[in-house]
Amino acid sequence: MNCKVYSKEGKEVRTIALDDSVFGLPVNEDLIWYAINNELANRRQGSASTKDRGEIHGSNAKPYKQKGTGRARRGDKKSPVLVGGGTIFGPKPKDYSYAMPKKAKRQALKSILSLKAQSDMLKIIEDFSIESGKTKDLAKLLDNFEPGLRTVLILKDDDPMLKRAAANIPWLKYLSYNRLEAHELFYGRQVLMLETAAKNLSEFYGAKEAGK
């Protein structure tokens, strides 16, 4: 499929042919859902923890005698039904992460890229860098591409100065072409991709598919 290429000023300069095996696939919603939930599960810390009655600090003695008081029978002050007592079936540290098949993850990412391309939410931009590393210089450039929208910028390499400039823009998320994230990519309202990154994506996924 063909896609327009924009200059840094936001003007159309030419078209580029994108690989249909990466940007022209049918959208697999189930696979996208699976990939997004996998990423969210792997991000969970799983550090929530509560104390049961055996872990509460306190006396094991009965607070008052068993009979004759007209009150409920209490074994100790650490009972879960008392204020300050233990928690019944409370959360404990847990690992929520799980592995997703690599082929399925690649297919899900390609499905998201195809969705963005087919929905006109993908824009190819001529390669650029922010030599100064300043946020204001990048923000000025992004003013030409609907600023304020939740935006994903796909880089052609690990450009430290460009990443530094993008770090302080709250509505912008940057990703390297070979480290895409399904969650960020799917929920981005617009995807800005450097021209070389688009070419690298075709080669990267093409090579992977050829070796399966």
pLDDT tens column, 28-45: 999 999 999 999 999 999
Specify the CATH class of 2-34+101-210 in words: alpha beta
Could you count the other beta carbons within 10 Å of the beta carbon of residue 98? 9
pLDDT tens column, 144-178: 998 889 999 999 888 899 999 999 999 999 999 98
Q: Nearest Cα to 162, choosing from 190, 127, 186?
A: 127
What is the number of alpha carbons within 13 Å of residue 181 lying toward its C-beta? 16
| 172-176: strand order across its sheet | 12-17, 2-6, 122-125, 190-194, 151-155, 172-176
**Cα 38 off chain centre by:** 10
Q: What is the DSSP letter of 93?
A: -
With 90 as the cut, is the pLDDT of residue 184 above it? yes
Residue that is written with structure tokens 């939740």 in the block? 150
The answer to pTM > 0.85 is no
Longest dimension (CA), the chain: 92
What sign for the dihedral angle of Cα 196, 202, 206, 208?
positive
